[in-house]
Amino acid sequence: MNAFIIALIRTVVPAGVGLLFGWLASIGIGLDTETQSGLVAGLSLTITGLYYAGVTWAAAKYPAFGWLLGVAATPKYSTGKHVAE
């Protein structure tokens, strides 16, 4: 799998987890639609960051935790110079 696909998966999975748990946390809270949307957005962002940081930290100690980001492998980028075409 190339580095772009690995990086994409490792970005989308935490975002999905954050959105899901942000939405679940807001269920049952009696707020107007606009306020609830802001709450879901804020919770999603916070949960996404905490999830990514926590899994990355755990994967550094125990590589098996890397699968919680969708792919255990980290992207490997080439070090050669690229010229814009």
pTM above 0.85, yes or no: no
Tens-digit pLDDT profile for residues 1-16: 788 899 999 999 999 9
SS3 content of the chain, % helix, strand, coil (to 5): 70, 0, 30
Query: Can you give the residue ranges of every domain in the chain?
Result: 3-69
- Please report the pLDDT score of residue 1 as a whole number: 78
Tens-digit pLDDT profile for residues 54-78: 999 999 999 999 999 999 888 887 7
What region does 28 belong to: left with phi over 0, alpha with psi -120 to 50, or beta? left
- Please report the pLDDT score of residue 85 as a whole number: 55
- Please report the pLDDT score of residue 11 as a whole number: 92
